[in-house]
Amino acid sequence: MLDQSLLDKLRAESVPPRGLFVGGKWRDARDGRTLDVVSPIDGRPIATIARGGAADIDDAVASARAAFESGVWSQAAPAERKKVLHRLADLIADNALELAVLGVRDNGTEIGMALKAEPGSAAGTFRYYAEALDKVYGEIAPTAPGVLGLIHREPVGVVAAIVPWNFPLMIGAWKIAPALAAGNSVVVKPSEIASLTLLRLAELAAEAGLPDGNLNVVTGEGAEAGEAMGLHMDIDVLAFTGSGATGRRLLDYSARSNLKRVFLELGGKSPNIVFADAPDLDQAAKVSANGIFRNSGQVCVAGSRLLVERAIHAEFVDRMKHHAEALKVGDPLDLSNDIGAVASDAQLARDLAAAARAEAEGAVRITGGTRLHWETGGYYMAPTIFDSVAPTMALHREEVFGPVLAVTPFDDEAEAVRIANGTDYGLAAAVWTANLSRAHRMVRAVRAGVVHVNTYGGADGTVPLGGHGQSGNGHDKSLHALDKFCNLKTAWMQL
């Protein structure tokens, strides 16, 4: 049970200036530059982080490569790697509240959600891959008797991870844990908007016994440190979560450098499809409101398009309005609030602009569309619903990554599928129906990496998350994530 006075105590703690974590040591950026960390709770600076550049990325990659070549981690017995990753999971769990509050001060996520999604999920991810690492191994091919075909799985070498600001610890762990489990060295660049928790993770990893150089964290701007990673000649695999625009750049950097493998987890415009025969319309509305408004809509799989069967359209929009307006937005470290702050002033400006544009294009505002609590200096936005959003409007086609829902009615299953698949994206979807056959038909017909049925969100670490269409390639989570960080090698032997 969370305690308000404990939260208030933790939020008042000062955050020391943070350097880069390279080769197991803290240091400044080579050129000494720093970035201010501004808290979205009140718009005030809370710390400084190092502004790493190309020279720092060179150092981090060299340190990762040397650690890999040394074999201390890459050739350690699986049981040894397992022990360290379990210890790291324990340390994350032991420090969960401190990590969660640090993250909330950095990116504004409401504390209840942050605690579960960030340290909670990260600890689970390290445990999952600690357990997986000695259960996924090579194969003997079914060859003719005179030969032996062995398929070895080997670590790729140096893995780079570039992560966004919405859930840095969770998404960082989705990449770092399987990469380390497979025996690789890792260089991470957190988002310049939310770096603090991944810096703390590096410290905990060292405490858990991860050898120096196997996990390096370089903070800095995307166009500087991020670009240097993309163009680096000694990174083998780059795993990215973020926007499509950055994803395109990373593919270009790879083509212009060493053809490193690039895995992209990108955005979405996910359809949440409610049929008139949904088992419980009020529950569907409540979960759907949560599916778009939690974390101020800054969730890659957010159900940002609500498609409703025309027979229940007016009634369902009313229910959504009721649930949206019941959500209390405010200070993410105040336990009486349901939703915290938008992560940055730039993101808030994008959210408000998307709402203004929807109105200008003729969509009907049902609720929200405004900034809240501006007097605090923080970045807050009211849960926002627009109805009568035509498939041609920007709000139907473009990701906002904010608390803005587009509602569109449909007449039958075929039209629902057509509208659902009518964007460039394919990350997530949901279908609400009591008809089992229809549920299965929709799962097959809708283009998405995950289709929820009679729920929204909550898929755990045992199942993959990856985009179809322009939502990306490759998968985070599950045993499938290990494939990104392994090379297959064939040994073909004449007997």
Q: 119, 242, 297, 402: which one contacts ligand NAD (CB under 6 A)?
A: 242
Site string for ligand NAD, 283-312 (x = CB under 6 A): -----------------x------------
Is residue 108 close enough to count as binding ligand NAD by CB under 6 A? Answer: no
Is residue 473 close enough to count as binding ligand NAD by CB under 6 A? Answer: no
Site for ligand NAD in 7-46 (CB under 6 A): none
Q: 34, 70, 243, 455: which one contacts ligand NAD (CB under 6 A)?
A: 243
Site for ligand NAD in 152-191 (CB under 6 A): 162-166, 171, 189, 191
Classify residue 120 by its DSSP letter.
I
Q: How far is the CB of 243 from ligand NAD (least distance, A)?
A: 3
Q: 176, 179, 266, 285: which one contacts ligand NAD (CB under 6 A)?
A: 266
**Which is closer to ligand NAD, CB of 106 or CB of 265?**
265
Query: What one-letter code names the amino acid at 191?
Result: S
Site string for ligand NAD, 396-415 (x = CB under 6 A): ---x-x--------------
In angstroms, rounded to a whole number, what is the distance separating the alpha carbons of residues 398 and 74?
42
In angstroms, rounded to a whole number, what is the distance separating the alpha carbons of residues 138 and 383?
50
**Do residues 288 and 274 lie in contact, with contact meaning Cβ atoms separated by under 8 Å?**
yes
In angstroms, rounded to a whole number, what is the distance separating the alpha carbons of residues 479 and 463?
8
**Which is closer to ligand NAD, CB of 83 or CB of 468?**
468
Instruction: Return the range that interacts with ligand NAD (CB under 6 A); candidates 64-72, 137-145, 260-268, 324-332.
Output: 260-268
> How many Å is the maximal CA-CA distance in the chain?
79
Structural tokens at position 329: 């937005």
| Neighbour count for residue 125 (Cβ, 10 Å) | 28
Structural tokens at position 346: 């730039």
Is position 300 annotated as part of the catalytic site?
yes
Structural tokens at position 27: 């240091």
Q: How far is the CB of 116 from ligand NAD (least distance, A)?
A: 16
**Which is closer to ligand NAD, CB of 129 or CB of 401?**
401
Q: Which residue has the tokens 């928790």?
A: 197
Q: Quote the Cα angle for 346-352-357, to 5°.
A: 120
| Neighbour count for residue 4 (Cβ, 10 Å) | 12
Active-site residue (options: 192, 224, 300, 413)? 300
**Do residues 293 and 113 lie in contact, with contact meaning Cβ atoms separated by under 8 Å?**
no
Q: 192, 236, 331, 413: which one contacts ligand NAD (CB under 6 A)?
A: 192
Q: How far is the CB of 242 from ligand NAD (least distance, A)?
A: 3
> What b-and-e string marks burial along 199-217, b requiring 16 or more CB atoms within 10 Å of the CB?
bbbbebbbebebbbbbbbb
Binding site for ligand NAD (CB under 6 A): 162-166, 171, 189, 191-192, 222-223, 226-227, 230, 241-243, 246, 249, 265-268, 300, 399, 401, 427, 465, 467, 472
